[in-house]
């Protein structure tokens, strides 16, 4: 047991090093969601209000995407401790990423330590309860998550879902522990409740997991008083969540696919055809407006074979070999030329999954395949799929299956000759080391060089440059083509939130809204040749914003040598 503790401590240390090393420098810069989270946390810290002047909100309007609040609030102490910078914004994600590694060990131990319950037959397996094999399995799963490319990618940037993964893993682990200790059962209620406020996809996945847990363990639940207390705690969180669920503002994403929204787009199909709008109008005039909304809407119109096939295809795409092991999805979600998982994990994942489904399935292990089925459900009805962020709740399932596969295969191989055992260990260690070294090289070296454009490099440099020169100009105009420029300038100039709110705060976080301004800064598109001459203006834009004869005073380059932004004066 003492040796297990030392191994676990080493794994936690490794996880911390991989997540904290150069955290503020790799990726090279903050993208707009990270900056928005940081400034809102800074604003709450200084004023108790977000950038829109709303006091302690339960939903952050942010960039008009209405972010869940948990990551925002846990960022506040980080900003207070480290200041408003790249490290402080990303530190909560890194911290909870490390804690997820520990929670994974806890989860695996709970599942496989209880591998056999009274009255149940237990299949022959090296994963016997209360044996060193279970602890080894937990250590392996924790280790594989500690070095996971998928988990590292989102632990090293301010992704809200990464915090949600920790809460979910801890919630399930505490539920299983709570079957024996009621205090943990109530902790599980708290974690499942707070998870509703952590990430959008979680609001679908974790209630399904919770329902499954109650169904599976209905005969092993604690006493009625404890179960009642569980529902009371969870119910209080759910009641707090209901106003968000039905809020007109917070439903901005939901409205795009709502069956009562005739102009909605669903699964990339075209807008509702005029014939169906005419039918809706006819129903309304005939006194059947509600029925018209139900039967003549895009969801039902497109609920044909092709559309269902498309939704199913998006769901299945999350299990694709190329997506998981070769190239991932969007550039911000993985290292260049690398997938979300290591290629060497594949045979072990298959072996582990096969064992659990065909030989090791019981009440405790059943939650793992169910969890895997639930994880991509919210993404199946979105336009972008597969999507590594929205489906990060897959973790740590792949790592658990990998660990089970390693233990099972090694148990079979150790019956062979010593040379077979040595060859298996050597080959496995070699593949792991080479694949991991390649990943670290791609991440720490090539991410910044190849993806500095994707990570919006140059905004910090431009903001600091204009801040130094602004006193020499009447106004500073920043083109909207710079992408959400107002929030970058607020963040990097550390503009006083109290002053900003007093001046009117953020008008809109929309991508094309040109009404945001503060101090001498205006954020709007401009035509260089039509700018007024009576004012001395400092201009920031992409290269296409400026003609060849523009008075360029600074050019900012991406790390690959291509032009990122230009700063100029008007004529």
Strands 521-523 and 475-478, sheet pairing: parallel
Q: Other CB atoms closer than 10 Å to residue 93's CB: what's the count?
A: 28
pLDDT for position 306: 57
Structure tokens at 485: 């420029």
| Cα within 13 Å of Cα(331), Cβ side | 14
Residue 288: phi and psi, rounded to 5, are: -120, 45
pTM: 0.89
| Tens of pLDDT, residue by residue, the chain (571 residues) | 678 889 999 999 999 999 999 999 999 999 999 999 999 999 999 999 999 999 999 999 999 889 999 999 999 999 999 999 999 999 999 999 999 999 999 999 999 986 543 334 444 455 544 444 678 899 999 999 999 999 999 999 999 999 999 999 999 999 999 999 999 999 999 999 999 999 999 999 999 999 999 999 999 999 999 999 999 999 999 999 988 877 766 566 555 443 334 444 443 444 444 555 666 676 677 776 676 665 555 444 444 455 667 778 889 999 999 999 999 999 999 999 999 999 999 999 999 999 999 888 889 999 999 999 999 999 887 778 899 999 999 999 999 999 999 998 888 887 777 787 788 788 888 888 999 999 999 999 999 999 999 999 999 999 999 999 999 999 999 999 999 999 999 999 999 999 999 999 998 888 788 899 999 999 999 999 989 888 999 999 999 999 999 999 999 999 999 999 999 999 7
- Give the domain ranges of the chain: 2-30+85-252+312-449, 459-569
pLDDT for position 510: 81
| Cα within 13 Å of Cα(279), Cβ side | 15
Contact predicate 342/368, CB 8 Å = no
| Nearest-angstrom CA–CA distance, 245 and 243 | 5
Nearest residue to 67 (alpha-carbon basis) of 58, 75, 78? 58
Please give the full DSSP string across 369-405, using - where no structure is assigned.
Answer: HHHHHHTTGGGGGSSS-S-TTTTGGGTTHHHHHHHHH
The Cα angle at residue 480 between residues 474 and 485, in degrees rounded to 5: 75
Alpha-carbon dihedral of residues 37, 38, 44, 46, nearest 10 degrees? -170
């Amino acid at each position: 047991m003492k040796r297990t503790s030392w191994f676990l401590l080493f794994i936690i240390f490794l996880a911390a090093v991989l997540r904290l090393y150069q955290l503020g420098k790799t990726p090279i810069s903050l993208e707009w969601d990270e900056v928005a989270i940081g400034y809102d946390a800074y604003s709450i810290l200084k004023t108790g209000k977000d950038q829109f002047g709303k006091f302690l909100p339960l939903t952050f309007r942010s960039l008009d995407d209405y972010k869940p609040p948990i990551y925002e609030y846990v960022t506040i102490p980080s900003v207070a401790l480290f200041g408003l910078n790249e490290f402080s914004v990303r530190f909560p994600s890194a911290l909870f990423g490390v804690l997820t590694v520990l929670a994974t060990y806890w989860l695996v131990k709970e599942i496989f330590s209880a591998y056999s319950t009274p009255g149940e037959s237990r299949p022959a397996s090296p994963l016997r309860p209360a044996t060193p094999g279970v602890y080894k399995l937990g250590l392996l799963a924790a280790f594989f998550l500690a070095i996971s490319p998928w988990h590292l990618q989102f632990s090293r940037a301010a992704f809200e879902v990464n915090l949600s993964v920790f809460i979910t893993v801890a919630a399930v682990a505490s539920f299983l522990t709570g079957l024996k200790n009621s205090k943990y059962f109530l902790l599980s209620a708290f974690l499942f409740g707070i998870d509703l406020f952590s990430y959008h996809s979680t609001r679908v996945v974790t209630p399904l997991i919770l329902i499954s847990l109650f169904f599976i363990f209905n005969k092993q639940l604690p006493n009625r008083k404890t179960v009642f207390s569980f529902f009371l705690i969870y119910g209080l969180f759910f009641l707090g969540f209901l106003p968000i669920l039905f809020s007109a503002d917070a439903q901005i994403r939901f409205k795009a696919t709502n069956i009562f929204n005739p102009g909605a787009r669903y699964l990339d199909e075209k807008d509702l055809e005029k014939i169906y709008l005419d039918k809706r109008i006819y129903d309304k005039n005939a006194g059947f407006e509600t029925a018209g909304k139900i039967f003549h809407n895009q969801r039902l119109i497109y609920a044909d074979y092709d559309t269902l096939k498309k939704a199913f295809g998006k769901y299945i795409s999350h299990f694709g070999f190329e997506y998981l092991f070769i190239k991932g999805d969007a550039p911000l979600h993985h290292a260049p030329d690398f997938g979300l998982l290591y290629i060497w994990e594949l045979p072990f994942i298959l072996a582990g999954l096969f064992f659990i489904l065909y030989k090791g399935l019981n009440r405790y292990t059943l939650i793992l395949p169910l969890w895997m089925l639930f994880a991509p459900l919210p993404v199946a009805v979105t336009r972008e799929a597969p999507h590594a962020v929205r489906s990060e709740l897959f973790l740590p399932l792949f790592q658990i299956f990998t660990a089970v596969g390693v233990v099972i295969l090694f148990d079979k191989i150790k019956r062979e000759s010593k040379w077979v055992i040595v060859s298996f260990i050597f080959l496995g260690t070699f593949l792991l080391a080479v694949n991991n070294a390649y990943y670290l090289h791609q991440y720490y070296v090539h991410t910044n060089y190849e993806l500095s454009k994707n990570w919006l490099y140059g905004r910090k440099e431009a903001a600091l440059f204009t801040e130094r020169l602004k006193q020499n100009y009447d106004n500073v105009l920043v083109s909207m083509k710079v992408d959400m420029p107002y929030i970058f300038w607020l963040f990097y100039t550390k503009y006083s939130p109290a002053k900003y709110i007093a001046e009117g705060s953020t008008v809109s976080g929309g991508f094309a809204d040109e009404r945001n301004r503060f101090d001498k800064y205006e954020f709007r598109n401009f035509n260089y040749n039509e700018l007024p001459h009576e004012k001395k203006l400092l201009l920031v834009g992409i290269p296409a914003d400026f003609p060849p004869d523009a008075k360029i005073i600074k050019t900012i380059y991406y790390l690959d040598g291509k032009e990122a932004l230009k700063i100029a004066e008007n004529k």
